[in-house]
Structure 1
Amino acid sequence: MTLSAPVHYTLRPASPQAHLFDVTVTVTHPAKNGQVFFLPTWIPGSYMIREFSKHIVSLAAEAGGKAVPLRQLAKNRWQAAPAKGELTLRYQVYAFDLSVRGAYLDGERGFFNGTSVFLAAEGYENESCTVDIQAPDGKFHANWKVATSLPAVDVKKKSGFGLYRAADYDELIDHPVELGDFHKVSFKACGVPHEFVVSGRFQADLKRLADDCKKICEYQIRLFGEPAPFDRYVFMLFVGKDVYGGLEHRASTALVANRDDLPAPGAAEIGDGYLKLLGLISHEYFHSWNVKRMKPAAFAPYDLNREGMTRLLWAFEGITSYYDDLTLVRCGLIDEKRYLGLLAETITGVQRGAGRLKQTLEQSSFEAWTKYYRQDENSPNSIVSYYTKGSLAALALDLVIRRDSKGKQSLDDVMRALWSKWLADGKGLEEDEWEKIAIETTGLKLKPFFDLALRSTEDLPLAELLASQGVELKFEAAQGASDRGGVVDAFAGKPAPLTLGARTAADAAGVRLVQVLDGGAAQQAGLSGGDVVVAVDKLRAYDLDKQLARLQAGDTIKLHAFRRDELMTFELVAQAASDDTCRLKLAAGGGKWIAGR
């Protein structure tokens, strides 16, 4: 393959059974004092240092057919000795990360993000580059194809293997690649070609998936205004068991979900699993505007060698989380009552975490690198999610704008103003700029709201704001472990059952306490996250909710639990569940904001 850019890569699935990609990077004019190469330590959209360089299993350099010495400068940086002419690095990458953040390869499929496989040539980050994506050897991979939004230069029409080009390194790593014998369905949204490729074993109605995605995409394109910010878009979905997640890119998204969440052939309704998948698709697609283009100044450009700290993640993840389910109503996939059910579950999730009383949204955003993405058994007691509380802050802001402007303006107007700014200057937002633009756009005195929602740990005035839209909110006690709130025709006022005050999981020895919540019976008894309860009043522990159900508040029971390998005894005083479960009731003619009215 003829080199056609200052930096050229080749990538080949060399050993699927060993999960190894062979990669080369060639620099036509290496630095005279020794070319430096580095691999990112994190991937945009997932705010944690992930140390991708740990998966490089061999690395060698050559020039003019002769070996060139390499010296490691840091955990993710290497320098080649000075060399004349083209310099090539050859290396292997171990790829067995089934998430959307890394790279994966086996006999069934391959997938990679550029941050995991493409070493950057320092000093050439802003130069164009090409990559030759090669097919694996062997008859078992004869039907493999390539799916990517990376611009093609010279590829095979049927399979897509061949030469691709990127304007710079940032573009190169922002187009993930799916490899394998996947299924594909296509559609156009506002005239823009979209592809949806699905890997894994499944039975599903992909035409329905495409039709529903088209509605989502067209609503969001029209929300910000045509044309779309890309010429082509690719959804890449791997389906398996007990997997879920997504990661946005400038003209594509990588998704993983349970195979049963896909729409079943012949099914007309939208089940809970398919609804969850549509919400994920809507969320990642909305990011095409909100964070892939409009973004914090801390990300413009990204520094992939260290954390990019910003207090604005609530605006880019939280607001996106608000619009993802809202889109499903406004494009006609679900009704207002179904949406309110999703909203009630979100409100419940935030209300049940004591961390909302200890960490502000700005702190949650800034500390994502060390707290949100590194959660432990105490996280519900110490942090709040900038996704979930951020989405509630977006809801509250939307309702405040609608109320105070007497229905003439909404959060939609702010989002369009932010988009217009980006189209005009392409710059990232400074830490105080998002709020300034919201205030300028609406002409409203919103600073008190921002102070409360973003810089305090006070609860949002959701009951008052929802009431202004004909939706009544009330907190009641959960009626079981699976009760996450919802929409009701009338508030029941049922007695509060007893609760352990812990989140649990099945364990071979009994019941494992995953997280022990502040103020609950388990914490007051001295139990901790990670403990495995094996007996309740000398009976084997199997379902703690059922075993507590016959007690009265104030009754004392004895629990035996293992902490590590030590058997301990605890006396637990039964407590009634607190009112932390959201019920929403929709009045006749209420909820007009949901449909954008």
Structure 2
Amino acid sequence: MKKFLSLSLLFSALAVSGYAQQKYAYSVDLVNIVNDQVAVNLTTPAITQESTVFSFAKAIPGSYARKDFGRFIVDLQAFDKDGKKLKVEKLNKDQYRINNATSLATIKYKVNDTWDTKHDDFIFQPGGSNIEAGQNVVMNNHAFYGYFEDYKKLPIEISVNKPEGFYGATHLDVEHPAKNLDLIKARDFVYLADNPVIYARPDTTSFMVGQSKINVFVYSATGKVKSAQVAEYLKPIAKSLSVFFNGLPVKSYQFLYYFEDPKKALADRDKGEGGYGALEHNYSSLYYLPEVEMEKRLVSMVNDVSSHEFLHILTPLNLHSFEIENFDFTDPKMSAHLWMYEGITEYFAHLIQLQNGLVDEKGFFKEMRDKMNQAEEFGSFSMTEMSKRVMEDSFQKKYSSVYNKGALIGFALDMLIREKTNGNKDLKSVIIDLTHKYGPSKPFKDDEFIGDFVAASHPDVKQFIDKYIVGSETVPYAEYFARVGYEYAPQKNVQAFYPGKMGLKMENGAFVFANVGDNPLKVKEGDVFAKMDGIAVTQDNVDDIWDAYFAENTKHPEIEITVLRGGKEIVMKGPIYDGHFKTKNYLAPMASPTPAQQAALKNLEGK
């Protein structure tokens, strides 16, 4: 992303127009919201063409699909300086042609939110907008504001009339000329779109990591989640990332969290209307997550999602192609390297947690196995072809493979680079070296990047890329996991013990058996799970207990379950079902790893 206006273009526009300053001057009213619509007024820059096109984003960086934000703009009108209406022609979902544009002075329209508007092609919440009068406004700026095709690089000012007590959380510069008035400034539309804003009553916490200030904003639908607790979750992650980068490469960063009532969020997701997750930006990230009652799972969720998004300060902020640098919001051209932007970022997000004790070895490799199972759903295809053609429907369906197949490619590349360089390099050092070669304001050429990557790593990496990234072959998992002492098999028969059909849910702070069917110990629907083999069940150990005794029980042919039923404690003990089951993508520690394999595992763990 370019940091400065083109001075030649700006001076040329000034000379022609005679204006003191060419800019977009927007005003929005967040106080008088009607039917979840926000009124927007634009005092336009001076237009020198007789006809001009006013556009809204068709697609946005970091979200690799057609969005057509113009769908949510209603009643767009244009006026001259005397208030006379000008002719406006709607060209498509996202663009309007305005004639007699040299006399254009004002554009007015209303913005519908994307979260609550029922429509096809629902926009994933972190990339959309939410408008709840008196409660909050999630202002992804690409969903609110348009631009003239020939005037993208002009500065933008937005006057925000806000409800009393509201605070605008953002990385953008915000001035406060009056009590309930904010003035937001951005150097151009690209920078504006890269920096979302959430307006709500403030719940913010900040902390320092080295020389970098980390700002945390939380909006929680029912008030269950607070910024102070989320900041505590983030501190170890931020510290780990600082170690990873040898100092964070940004002076400040904004985490913007919207925690939804899980009942509403699940209902929306079941209707195909979005889901949990986040969208990265260069200096911030915006999250749509559930208010998880069980804190251990809340911490895990926040860490997993936030570490991934935070890592995008490495790529694409400091390492990206011309397609990312000069993103065309109207007719986007895609980079071939989503395998790096998203896949390697996802791998690093889990590697950092492993290396800093935020997850253990078992948790890391369980995540890798889960990603193998997910990757199988997409079949075989070229990652670079998918990346270039991701806007097409057939390839859009494969996009989420970057978070599983892409991460596994990252793991295998890491193992290969470590081996071929005798441990002198790893995947992180290669990426860091490339960020030094390029950086935030120097993009690479898309078709030359693989050559750069190979030159920064090892010649043998070229064959790997040709087969598994440019080509459509599947990474030979057995070969790469064996290097750290793990056995892999596409399928394997495993002896296991099965307690019967039952699930578990949390109610009022207790774990309750649900969806109970036949089982040898006669557990009943609604029994409160109190103890397992005499060990009290808590939020800290319930996941490990469930894995060891229920989901993947290979060691306990007899178990003892203590439940509370009708206020009484009942102990049920005895043998459970015995059998074998066929598991796919089996991944487990080798019984007798070699010293070299053990050393490689310790090296991966950062020990």
Same fold (TM over 0.5): yes
How far did 1:104 drift? Answer: 1.1
Q: Percent identity between the aligned chains?
A: 21
Alignment deviations for residues 554-583 of structure 1 (CA, whole Å, 9 cap, x no partner): xxxxxxxxxxxxxxxxxxxxxx98652333
Residue 367 in structure 1 maps to residue 389 in structure 2 = yes
**Who is 2:109 aligned against?**
91
Q: Are 1:356 and 2:388 an aligned pair?
A: no
Provide closer, same or farther for how the CA distance between residues 254 and 296 of structure 1 changes in structure 2, counting only shifts above 3 A.
Answer: same
| Residue pair 2:169, 2:217 contacting (<8 A) in 1 also | yes
Aligned AA (1:360): S
The 5 A counterparts of 1:512-531 are none
Equivalent of 1:281 in 303, 306, 320 = 306
Instruction: For 2:22 and 2:176, locate their aligned partners in 1 and report how far apart those are by CA, in whole Å.
Output: 14
Query: Does the aligned pair in 2 maintain the 1:130–1:163 contact within 8 Å?
Result: yes
Cα shift at 1:84: 6.2
SS at 1:260's partner residue? coil
Q: Once the 2 structures are TM-superposed, how far is the Cα of residue 334 of structure 1 from its aligned partner? A: 1.9
Q: How far apart, in 2, do the equivalents of 1:155 and 1:342 lie?
A: 49
User: Does the C-alpha gap of structure 1 residues 293 and 397 become closer, same or farther in structure 2, counting only changes over 3 Å?
Assistant: same
Matching of residue 412 in structure 1 with residue 412 in structure 2: no
Question: 290, 293, 309: which one pairs with 2:315?
Answer: 290
Deviations 1:484-526 (A, max 9, x none): xxxxxxx835599xxxxxxxxxxxxxxxxxxxxxxxxxxxxxx
Q: What TM-score does the superposition give when structure 1 sets the normalisation length?
A: 0.74
Alignment-mate amino acid for residue 60 of structure 2:
I
Alpha-carbon contact 2:354-2:605 (below 8 Å) kept: yes
Which of 391, 394, 399 is residue 410 of structure 2 equivalent to? 394
From 342, 352, 355, the equivalent of 1:327 is 352
Please tell me the residue identity of whatever aligns with 1:146. Answer: G
Q: Please report how far the alpha carbon of residue 245 of structure 1 lies from its aligned counterpart in structure 2 after TM superposition.
A: 1.3
Change (3 A) 1:474 1:274: farther
C-alpha distance in 2, partners of 1:372/1:494? 40
Q: Which residue of 1 aligns with 2:508?
A: none
What's 1:65 paired with? 82
Alignment-mate amino acid for residue 296 of structure 1: S
Is 366-375 or 142-151 further displaced after alignment? 366-375
- Deviation at residue 44 of structure 1 after TM alignment: 1.2
Asked if the contact 1:240–1:259 (Cα under 8 Å) also holds between the matched residues in 2, the reply is yes
Q: Is the 8 A contact 1:186 1:196 kept in 2?
A: yes
Residues 237, 82 of structure 1: alpha-carbon distance in 2 compared, 3 angstrom cutoff: same
**Structure 1: tracts of 5 or more residues without a match:** 137-141, 265-269, 478-490, 497-575
Q: What code does the residue aligned with 1:253 have?
A: S
1:344 and 2:346 aligned: no
Displacement of 1:177 in angstroms is 0.9
Corresponding pairs, count: 481
Verify the 8 A CA contact 2:113 2:130 in the aligned structure 1.
yes
> 1:114 is matched with which residue: 141, 160, 180?
141
The 8 Å contact of residues 217 and 227 in structure 2, kept in 1 or not, is answered as no
CA RMSD of aligned residues (A): 3.0
Q: CA deviation at 1:404?
A: 1.3
Q: Which blocks of at least 5 consecutive residues in structure 2 are unaligned?
A: 1-19, 117-124, 267-274, 499-579
Give the letter for the 1:229 counterpart.
Answer: V
- TM-score, normalised relative to structure 2: 0.73
- Is 2:47 aligned against 1:30? yes
Find the aligned partners of 1:421 and 1:313 in 2 and give their Cα distance. Answer: 19
Aligned equivalent of 1:535: none
Report the 3-state secondary structure (helix = DSSP H, G, I; strand = E; otherwise coil) of the residue aligned with 1:188. strand
The CA distance in 1 between the partners of 2:395 and 2:299, in whole Å, is 26
Q: Which moved more, 1:310-319 or 1:63-72?
A: 63-72
1:4-403 to 2 correspondence within 5 Å? 6-13=23-30, 15-16=32-33, 18-72=35-89, 74-75=91-92, 76-82=94-100, 87-97=105-115, 99-107=125-133, 108-136=135-163, 142-154=164-176, 161-199=181-219, 200-204=221-225, 206-226=227-247, 228-241=249-262, 242=266, 243-260=275-292, 264=295, 270-271=296-297, 273-351=298-376, 353=377, 355-357=378-380, 359-371=381-393, 374-375=396-397, 385-403=401-419
- Please name the residue that 1:492 is paired with: 494
Question: How many Å apart are 1:442 and its aligned residue?
Answer: 2.5
Q: Aligned-pair distance for 1:364?
A: 2.5
Which string of whole-angstrom CA distances, capped at 9 and with x for unpartnered residues, describes residues 301-348 of structure 1? 001112323321111111111111112222332222221221221122
User: How far apart in 1 are the matches of 2:436 and 2:314?
Assistant: 11
Q: Is the 8 A contact 1:95 1:104 kept in 2?
A: yes
Other structure's SS at 1:306 match: coil
Q: Which amino acid aligns with 1:260?
A: V
* Aligned-partner Cα distance in 1 for 2:25–2:310: 30
1:405–1:218 Cα change, 3 Å: same
Hey, what does 2:443 align to over in structure 1? 428
Asked if structure 2 preserves the Cα contact closer than 8 Å seen for 1:68 and 1:81, the reply is no
Mapped contact 2:285–2:309 kept (Cα < 8 A):
yes
How far off is 1:204 after superposition? 3.7
What is the distance in 1 between the residues matched to 2:39 and 2:173? Answer: 22
Shift in alpha-carbon separation, 1:34–1:309, aligned structure 2, 3 A: same
Distance 1:460 1:118 in 2: 43
Q: How is 1:562-573 mapped onto 2 (pairs within 5 angstroms)?
A: none
The Cα shift of 1:368 comes to 2.1
Equivalent residue letter for 1:591: L
Which digits, 9 at most, give the CA deviation of each residue in 1:270-292, with x for residues without a partner?
A: 33x53133111111111122123
Residues 15, 102 of structure 1: alpha-carbon distance in 2 compared, 3 angstrom cutoff: farther
Amino acid at match of 1:228: P
Equivalent pair of 2:279/2:287 in contact (CA under 8 Å): yes
Q: Secondary structure at the match of 1:386?
A: helix
